[in-house]
């Protein structure tokens, strides 16, 4: 099943393998996607669907050095180079729209301002990647530092961010993307509003579950109205506690969110399973509840092997499977999986930073037929 074609709304995918979003911190000055990034993604166009690395919707939405944006004409033009290369190689690609919320640093914010969040809560020990002091802008030399103390968003600011998401979606379509994925996982802004321990508001955007889901609902609705719900996916991480985002009742919260997204009619939900050692396991009953609540396409990512992927597809939990880190080191991953071939190991110290090393220089397997 993994290697069979799949129709995602109006988009025909060559297989059920997804390259999920992975930050690589290689954008140019101005947070512009580059020719090198175009080469990287085109190398991996044999995936049924590529979802871009997190792409900030505004300067305020940036939380790490050298991550690309989609809010200026130069950024749109840069991404057009990438999508053209992917489409030429036979691939399909969505842009992941990203606002990090509190997970940022004053050095990345305009005029050194504080990051924003639903509530002014610091996630202790949560670090962001910023340029080293006095480092050249394109050196890729960065360091991990504690994120800065955030301030609480006002309601007018929340409403402005909703419109910024909608504009970013329009920009993504102008840049040639086939659709967008809203990053509502891993402790960033959309999840900060959703989870009970990061949203302590008492107004219409916090308190009850319905009010905590309001921001996600309004963003998703605005984006769907801007580009069509068939072009919209949403990423969630119900059991992941990254970046200090924790919900007291994740199954109740995220199944309610799934029902809401089903009513809006988005194309897919992309579920990021917790993938660290001793991580909580997402039980089959939880996955079956997702399937019951959401009638569209379900994508799962998180330490999937070929065997585990087939199990998820066979059981009906998933329609598509994301393979993250294996795609970093194996541009021809679908070919290797289909033929039971060994995988290259990724160079971890080259995950972030400048240049082609550990990025576009991984070899394909002998005999792999790739369009690059």
* Residues in contact with 143: Cβ distance below 8 Å, sequence separation at least 6, in sequence order: 129, 130, 132
Give the alpha-carbon dihedral of 21, 27, 32, 33, to 10 degrees.
Answer: -50
Taking CA 269 as the corner, what is the angle to CA 263 and CA 274, rounded to the nearest 5 degrees? 135
> Span 338-344, mean pLDDT?
94
> Span 265-286, mean pLDDT?
87
> Span 265-281, mean pLDDT?
85
Which is it for the CA torsion 268, 196, 276, 180, positive or negative? positive
pLDDT of residue 277: 64
> Span 89-94, mean pLDDT?
98
The pTM (predicted TM-score) of the whole model is 0.95
pLDDT of residue 307: 94
* pLDDT over 80 at 133, yes or no: no
> Span 181-197, mean pLDDT?
97
Instruction: Set out the domains of the chain in order of their start, with CATH numbers.
Output: 6-350 (3.20.20.70)
Distance, in Å, from the CA atom of 193 to the CA atom of 215, rounded to the nearest integer, reads: 7
Helix (H, G, I), strand (E, B) or coil at 350: helix
Q: Which active-site residues does the annotation give?
A: 188
Kindly indicate the confidence band of residue 131, based on its pLDDT and cuts at 50, 70 and 90: confident
Kindly indicate the confidence band of residue 279, based on its pLDDT and cuts at 50, 70 and 90: low
Question: Mean pLDDT in the chain?
Answer: 94
pLDDT of residue 139: 56
> Span 276-286, mean pLDDT?
81
> Span 283-302, mean pLDDT?
96
Q: Which of 121, 117, 127, 270 is closest to 185 using CA atoms? A: 270
> Percentage of residues in the chain with pLDDT exceeding 70?
95
CB-CB contact of 148 with 204 (8 Å): no
Kindly indicate the confidence band of residue 242, based on its pLDDT and cuts at 50, 70 and 90: confident
> Span 264-288, mean pLDDT?
88
pLDDT of residue 141: 72
Distance, in Å, from the CA atom of 138 to the CA atom of 29, rounded to the nearest integer, reads: 7
CB-CB contact of 101 with 117 (8 Å): yes
Per residue in 137-177, pLDDT (tens digit) is 555 577 889 999 999 999 999 999 999 999 999 999 999 99
pLDDT of residue 136: 58
pLDDT of residue 372: 34
CB-CB contact of 90 with 46 (8 Å): yes
> Span 92-98, mean pLDDT?
98
pLDDT of residue 134: 61
Least confident of 111-115, 132-136, 251-255: 132-136
Distance, in Å, from the CA atom of 15 to the CA atom of 13, rounded to the nearest integer, reads: 6
* pLDDT over 60 at 93, yes or no: yes
pLDDT of residue 371: 39
Q: At what angle do helices 73-88 and 35-43 cross, to 10 degrees?
A: 30
Return the structure tokens found at 347. 């160079």
Q: Counting beta carbons within 10 angstroms of the beta carbon of residue 133, is it exposed (0 to 12), middle (13 to 18) or buried (19 or more)?
A: exposed
Per residue in 11-46, pLDDT (tens digit) is 999 999 999 999 999 999 999 999 999 999 999 999
Taking CA 17 as the corner, what is the angle to CA 279 and CA 353, rounded to the nearest 5 degrees? 65
- Strand 179-183 relative to strand 232-236, pairing: parallel
Give Cα separations from 333 to 48, 136, 169, 307 (angstroms).
11, 34, 29, 15
* pLDDT over 70 at 368, yes or no: no
Higher pLDDT, 1 or 51: 51
What does the DSSP assignment read for 86-147? HHHTT--EEEEEE--TTS--GGGSGGGPPPEESS----TT-EEEEEPTT--TTS--EEEEEP
Taking CA 200 as the corner, what is the angle to CA 300 and CA 240, rounded to the nearest 5 degrees? 20
């Amino acid at each position: 099943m993994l290697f069979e074609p799949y129709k995602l709304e109006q988009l025909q995918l060559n297989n059920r393998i997804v390259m999920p979003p992975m930050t690589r911190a290689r954008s140019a000055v101005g947070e512009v996607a580059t020719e090198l990034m175009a080469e990287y993604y085109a190398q991996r166009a044999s995936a049924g669907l590529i979802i871009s690395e997190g792409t900030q919707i505004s300067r305020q939405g940036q939380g790490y050095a050298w991550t690309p944006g989609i809010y200026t004409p130069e950024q749109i033009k840069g991404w057009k180079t990438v999508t053209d290369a992917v489409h030429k190689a036979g691939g399909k690609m969505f842009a992941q729209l990203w606002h990090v919320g509190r997970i940022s640093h004053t050095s990345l914010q305009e005029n050194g301002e504080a990051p924003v969040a639903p509530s002014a809560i610091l996630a202790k020990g949560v670090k962001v990647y910023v340029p080293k002091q006095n480092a050249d802008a394109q050196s890729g030399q960065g360091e991990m530092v504690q994120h800065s103390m955030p301030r609480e968003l006002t309601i007018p600011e929340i409403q402005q961010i909703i419109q910024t998401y909608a504009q970013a979606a329009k920009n993504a379509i102008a840049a040639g993307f086939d659709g967008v994925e809203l990053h509502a996982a891993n402790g960033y802004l959309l999840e900060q509003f959703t989870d009970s321990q990061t949203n302590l508001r008492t107004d219409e955007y916090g308190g009850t579950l319905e009010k905590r889901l309001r921001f996600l609902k309004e963003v998703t609705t605005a984006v769907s109205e801007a580009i069509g719900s068939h072009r919209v996916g949403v990423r969630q991480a119900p059991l992941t506690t990254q970046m200090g985002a924790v919900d007291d009742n994740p199954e109740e919260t995220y199944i309610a969110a799934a029902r809401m997204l089903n009513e809006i009619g988005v194309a897919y939900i992309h579920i990021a399973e917790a993938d660290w050692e001793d991580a909580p396991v997402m039980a089959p009953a939880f996955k079956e509840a997702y399937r019951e609540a959401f009638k569209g396409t379900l994508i799962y990512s998180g330490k999937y092997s070929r065997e585990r992927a087939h199990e998820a597809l066979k059981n009906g939990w998933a329609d598509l499977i994301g393979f993250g880190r294996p795609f970093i080191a194996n541009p021809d991953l679908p070919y290797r999986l289909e033929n039971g071939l060994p995988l290259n190991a990724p160079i971890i110290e080259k995950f972030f930073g400048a240049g082609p090393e550990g990025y576009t220089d991984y070899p394909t397997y002998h005999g792999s037929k790739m369009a690059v």
